[in-house]
Amino acid sequence: MNKISIIIPIYNEVENIQSALMYIERMISKTIGYEIIIVDGGSTDGSQEKIKQSKTIRFINSPKGRAIQMNAGAKVTTGTILYFLHCDSLPPENFDLSIVQQIEKGNQAGCFRMKFDWNHPVLSISQWFTRFNHISCRGGDQSLFVTKELFDSINGFDEAFVIYEDNEIIKRLYAKKQFVVIPQYVITSARKYKKNGVWRLQYHFSIIHLKRKMGHSVSSLQTYYRKNII
């Protein structure tokens, strides 16, 4: 029997986590086994108290760092399918069934298409490309499902990556020729674009992708990110 483990890493998400969890509970079909695991990276804003109010959520603490947190969540799962979801990305209705259908077809990893919750010409173009099954169109905001067996076989997320960790693991999954894009949409918050400016943030993300493609080190990517992105 399939069981899906939904893993959500957080850090200071007091304003978003409770509504996100309520949304997930509404969207999941509840026709297959599931668990929701919140991995907190040391929040100081009251996020932990919000989560602990729910009796249906598993909560664990972890050192800060999304790759570290997601690996920590994966280690305590009891499901056969792992579903990694950002706190500000909301999955489509019956997302669990859509994922299981792909697993049953032999697709052991994949994501959904993505839309932002804010209309902007640049973001509209960016989200349009998420329909294509190509590594250059991928990102963590689209969420990620992968069988526990495949995840373990590639040793999970590379914890050396403080940023770009989603793209790094997805690249390895593409190398396994196991990746599929489900034609339904995750709705993702544009809050970082609003904070940094759309054109500015899109430029800096492009530079980070280019640096990685040119072989820059992990520390170089981190330094650039911390210097230029709020």
Write the burial class of residue 159 (CB in 10 Å: 0-12 exposed, 13-18 middle, 19+ buried).
middle
Model pLDDT for residues 47-99, shown as the tens digit of each residue: 888 887 777 799 999 999 999 999 999 999 999 999 999 999 999 999 999 99
State the average pLDDT for the chain.
94
- Per-residue pLDDT, 51: 83
85 and 172 share one domain: yes
Model pLDDT for residues 128-150, shown as the tens digit of each residue: 999 999 999 999 999 999 999 99
109 and 201 share one domain: no
Model pLDDT for residues 87-133, shown as the tens digit of each residue: 999 999 999 999 999 999 999 999 999 999 999 999 999 999 999 99
Q: What is the CATH number of the domain that holds 73?
A: 3.90.550.10
39 and 99 share one domain: yes
58 and 83 share one domain: yes
178 and 147 share one domain: yes
- Three-state secondary-structure class, residue 109: strand
Specify the number of domains making up the chain: 2
172 and 194 share one domain: no
138 and 230 share one domain: no
- Per-residue pLDDT, 160: 94
- Per-residue pLDDT, 54: 72
- Per-residue pLDDT, 150: 97
Domain of residue 182: give its range. Answer: 3-121+130-187
Mean pLDDT of 40-50: 90
82 and 174 share one domain: yes
83 and 178 share one domain: yes
166 and 210 share one domain: no
Residue 179 pLDDT grade (very low, low, confident, very high; cuts 50, 70, 90): very high
17 and 52 share one domain: yes
75 and 28 share one domain: yes
Spell out where 15-95 has E strands.
Answer: 33-40, 57-61, 81-84, 89-90
